[in-house]
Structure 1
Amino acid sequence: MKVAARDLVRNVVKEKLARDEVALSMTVRLVRTAEIVTIAKTAGFDTFYIDLEHSTLSFETASQICLTAMNAGIAPFVRLPNLAPDVIARILDGGALGVIAPHVESAEQAKQVVKAAKFPPLGERSHGGVLPHMGFRSFPAAEVGEAVNAATMVVIMIETKEALEAIDEIAAIDGVDLLFIGTNDLCASLGIGGQFEHQLVHDAYAKGIAACRKHGKHLGVGGLNAHPKLVAQFVEMGARYVSTGTDISFLVNGASTQAARMRDL
């Protein structure tokens, strides 16, 4: 039976968002082997993102983890170290199903990320031959482009006052799928560092959710894993992607809890 390219690549996060369900993510900054994929799946996460901005992980390591995740049915994303088009292309060609773009403060910057991440006609991504997303099978370029474009997510970080001011214009860009609020950095930019319950934070999420609804996009919550009540509030308002914490924090918290429990004996 002939296999179509679109039948080989799927993104469970896109599917959950289309059903208006919440997608849960963890962040990979420490673990350098594919075991992290099995841990994420066993724990019940829908996706993870490999943070190349705040870690020493390599492109090669990210690719190996992404390849394992695709085969496990978990959507692998990568947080970019910068917005260079060649970096975006290498990460996606290596097996990622989405890129998370930091330091975007304008619609024009968001448009450039889309151009680098999407094949024509939506973007300018170059076809580099067979892709791991297709199981390294050969298909016509147009078929590959359509299938991979449909599955690949472009996530734009909203982490500064300038990005927040331009959030409606950013959400309007064709090819942007999700706006992801980095609450820590946004608070710092707004002059309210660490004040997560400040009205300005609530207003930022309300503005982001309104922009996403207006343009048919989705909003993500980041940096609030220690504040579950706030996360619940923003999900109730309409956020549908939640970053829950890093592999480092999970390991430290679990180890600390167990050490304390044993000392109490």
Structure 2
Amino acid sequence: MSDIRAVLRNHMKEKLAAGQVVASMTVRLSRSIEIAQIAAGAGFDTLYVDLEHNTLSIDTCCQICISAQQIGITPLVRVPANTPDYICRVLDGGAMGVITPHVRSAAEARAMVELVKFPPLGQRSAGGPLSQYGYRSFPMKETYAAMNDATSLVVMLETAAALENVEAIIATEGVDMLLVGSNDLCAELGITGQYDHPKLRDAFARCIQAASKAGKHVGVGGLASRDDLMTQFVRMGARYVSTGTDLSFLIGACAQRASFVKGIGLG
């Protein structure tokens, strides 16, 4: 098994296992593979292509994923629906994991494990040699075990129902991480946009406690504009931070430069 594990690595998982904080960039704007090198050059550990909130094709998404693999940036994909026609195709196409939205119960989490993990943990079907291990052939038993270890299943917590079931969700065998979607969760809790509300902090505290008990991890999502809250939740025990989108980074830099030039005095 050492041969396949030498070429099959999930750098994000390795950093999480070491207790390090993982910085992630979301891809919504870019349609080309250069975004992977930009992410690497900027110092990100991982990126996720957000198919839930844009119109990127699966083909474009997977080209970005394969490019990221080659330079040590762990590629994830947030799927628009928790169905095999998305999940299985992006995994076979180069993703090192999926982010599944709106998971509300342990039963739903278990259904995601069935799609993401190979037997005996799940029921993912074999797609032949994959880019994740250089299209090389390895014994199937070794491949299944190594791929299950290297593939991340990240379930999103975005609803009051999910928060109520968080202990059972994160304890589900095969689930690797819980990503808290702060925007949708706040809306569900009746505190839309109120990121300083104690209900959000309490939700993170409950998630982090549940994940720690299960030996799993918690990610911070939806707080890209709030460095103070990202810091607070990391110090509470979260270890993955979704820092923002390529689109928001471009808009922010553009606005800053335009403002600077317009503010130059004419003497």
Provide Cα deviations, 1:94-121, integer angstroms capped at 9, x if missing partner: 0000100001111111101111000111
Larger deviation, residues 230-239 vs 81-90? 81-90
Partner of residue 93, structure 1:
92
Provide Cα deviations, 1:181-220, integer angstroms capped at 9, x if missing partner: 0000000000000000000001000000000011010000
Provide Cα deviations, 1:125-162, integer angstroms capped at 9, x if missing partner: 00111111111111111111111111100000000101
Residue identity in the other structure for 1:102: P
**RMSD, aligned CA:** 1.0
Q: Distance in 2 between matches of 1:53 and 1:15?
A: 26
Where do 1:174-185 residues align within 5 Å?
A: 174-185=173-184
Partner of residue 219, structure 1:
218
Partner of residue 152, structure 2:
153
Partner of residue 250, structure 1:
249
Alignment pair present for 1:169 and 2:168: yes
Unmatched 5+ stretches in structure 2 = none
Residue identity in the other structure for 1:64: Q
Residue identity in the other structure for 1:245: G
Q: How many residues align?
A: 264
Alignment pair present for 1:230 and 2:229: yes
Residue identity in the other structure for 1:51: D
Where do 1:33-182 residues align within 5 Å?
A: 33-182=32-181
Give the match's secondary structure for 2:103: coil
Residue identity in the other structure for 2:112: V
Partner of residue 241, structure 1:
240
CA contact (8 A) 1:130 1:137 kept: yes
Q: Distance in 2 between matches of 1:125 and 1:133?
A: 15
Per-residue deviation at 1:5? 1.0
Residue identity in the other structure for 1:61: T
Partner of residue 210, structure 1:
209
Provide Cα deviations, 1:13-37, integer angstroms capped at 9, x if missing partner: 1011101100000100010100100
Per-residue deviation at 1:85? 2.1
Partner of residue 16, structure 1:
15
Calculate percent identity across the aligned residue pairs. 54
Residue identity in the other structure for 2:163: L
Per-residue deviation at 1:3? 7.3
Give the match's secondary structure for 1:95: coil
Q: Distance in 2 between matches of 1:7 and 1:148?
A: 12
Q: Distance in 2 between matches of 1:251 and 1:206?
A: 32
Q: Distance in 2 between matches of 1:164 and 1:223?
A: 16
CA contact (8 A) 1:85 1:113 kept: no
Question: Moved runs in structure 1, 4+ residues, more than 3 A?
Answer: none
Partner of residue 29, structure 2:
30
Give the match's secondary structure for 1:27: strand
Q: Return the TM-score normalized by structure 2.
A: 0.97
Q: Distance in 1 between matches of 2:6 and 2:44?
A: 23
CA contact (8 A) 1:78 1:98 kept: yes
Q: Return the TM-score normalized by structure 1.
A: 0.98
Give the match's secondary structure for 1:62: helix
Q: Distance in 1 between matches of 2:71 and 2:261?
A: 35
